[in-house]
Amino acid sequence: MDLDFWWLLVIPLAFALGWAAARYDLKTLLSESANLPRSYFRGLNFLLNEQPDQAIDAFIEVVKLDPDTIELHFALGNLFRRRGETDRAIRIHQNLLGRPDLPENERDHALFELGQDFLKAGLLDRAEDALMKLEAGEYASDAQRALLTIYEIEKDWIKAIGAARRLETMGTDSLAKEIAQFHCELAQEALQRKQTAEAAEQLKLALQANAQNVRATILAGDVEQAAGHHAQAIEAWLRVEGQNPAYLPLVAEKLMKGYAALGRAADGAARLTEYVERYGSNDLLELAYPHVAELSGAEAAHGLARAQMQRAPNLAGMTRLIEAQMATAEEPRRTELDLMRTLIKQRTKNLPRYTCQNCGFRARLFYWQCPGCSGWETYAPRRVEAMAAQS
């Protein structure tokens, strides 16, 4: 009975407290709304009616009437930047930074947004200057990511490595894949300058960062080849199979040149034949076919193409199979096969493409960094025949 009596007291009391809290919140909301300029509500109305230009004008009027609306300043600046009006965004964020009473956290926010404005405008040096000032605080990690983007655009790989390392110390996910690629870029540049020792050192650092970096292994073979060490180059390129056999088409021609330089071209053709049979790659068949035909004969090339077509039928493989049949066919059968090959080539010459697995950007060449989304190692090392490409 005592328990029921207390419940009778508690329920009305809870109701009374809830009613009082609601009245207080309503009075607070009405008080705050009364202090807002009419332009603010006009701006909201324009936004609701999908009239962004008029909404911006109304909000600008609010900012002029009430300079203390910091959040509205940030909202306007971001809106201008997204619309490509970077000069207006820069002015808004610079005006905020010019206020002596701006809290430290809001100052960091304004500095970060200003860096983003400069980056969007292509003023990379000014963006870097702004973002470099955010070494600590809430926006330090985002600033480092923006700096990393700047260094990648500028191809300043040493600074990019430093920015990636700092990001890792801030608790972000591992950037070992990116760091290894930056070292590979430095190695590539050194190799172009014929500084093979520097290239080899950078590749060593790349593999220390990411032992599974296939590009570093391929470049290691290039360094040996540049030094005239063909056997060591072949040994490096053969290691690609152990890392990721999908990348073997990227070293197939290199292997053939290495074997040819040693007077062992037949061994190179046999190696490529083995790869085609083991992994069933259409790209490998495309590369191996002419070498097998030249060194092992048309019948061997025909058998290789026929077996691959049975495993993975495709239009490029069909072209090779027709060519193999043409080598032993007689007229008029040979003429008919040639017409078929020509027709298929015309229909498929633009089909095989490397495709970014992140953004879908398609290209005829293989890229370690996608030109579309700037992601590293997002291209599958296998070309695909997207029939939608026909138009």
CA dist 151 and 145 (Å) reads: 10
Q: What's the pLDDT tens digit per position in 171-183?
A: 888 899 999 999 9
End-to-end Cα, the chain, rounded Å: 84
φ, ψ at 362 (rounded to 5°): -115, 140
Answer for the pair 212, 182: CB distance below 8 angstroms, yes or no: no
- Angle ∠(143,97,60) on CA atoms, nearest 5: 105
Write down the pLDDT at residue 60.
55
Answer for the pair 42, 62: CB distance below 8 angstroms, yes or no: no
Only one residue has tokens 């180059």, namely: 233
Q: What's the pLDDT tens digit per position in 227-248?
A: 899 999 999 999 999 999 989 9
**Numbered residues of the known binding site for Fe cation:** 356, 359, 370, 373
Q: What's the pLDDT tens digit per position in 259-284?
A: 999 999 999 989 988 998 888 778 88
Residue type, position 158, single letter: I
pTM metric for this prediction: 0.74
Which pairs from 262-265 meet CB under 8 Å and 24+ separation? 262/230, 262/231, 262/234, 265/291, 265/295
| pLDDT tier at 387, thresholds 50, 70, 90 | very low
Q: What's the pLDDT tens digit per position in 166-221?
A: 998 888 888 999 999 999 999 999 999 999 999 999 999 999 999 999 999 999 99
Average model confidence (pLDDT) across the chain = 78
Mean pLDDT of 159-169: 92
Helix or strand or coil: residue 355?
Answer: strand
| β 384-385/362-363 pair status | unpaired
Which pairs from 332-335 meet CB under 8 Å and 24+ separation? none
* CATH number for the domain whose boundaries are 36-131+140-169: 1.25.40.10
Picking from 354, 352, 373, the residue whose alpha carbon sits closest to that of residue 362 is 354
**What is the residue extent of each domain of the chain?**
36-131+140-169, 263-349, 352-391
Write down the pLDDT at residue 351.
57
Neighbours of 178 (CB within 10 A): 22
3-state secondary structure 38-65: HHHHHHHHHHHCCCHHHHHHHHHHHHHH
CA dist 209 and 187 (Å) reads: 14
Q: What's the pLDDT tens digit per position in 2-13?
A: 545 444 444 554
Highest mean pLDDT among 18-27, 78-87, 116-125, 363-372: 116-125
The residue with greater pLDDT, 52 or 117, is 117
Q: What's the pLDDT tens digit per position in 311-360?
A: 776 666 677 777 777 776 777 777 777 777 777 666 666 555 788 888 88
Write down the pLDDT at residue 177.
92
| pLDDT tier at 58, thresholds 50, 70, 90 | low
Q: Give the pair of three-digit tokens for residue 115.
A: 């860096």
Write down the pLDDT at residue 30.
36
**Numbered residues of the known binding site:** 356, 359, 370, 373
Q: Is the pLDDT of residue 64 over 70?
A: no
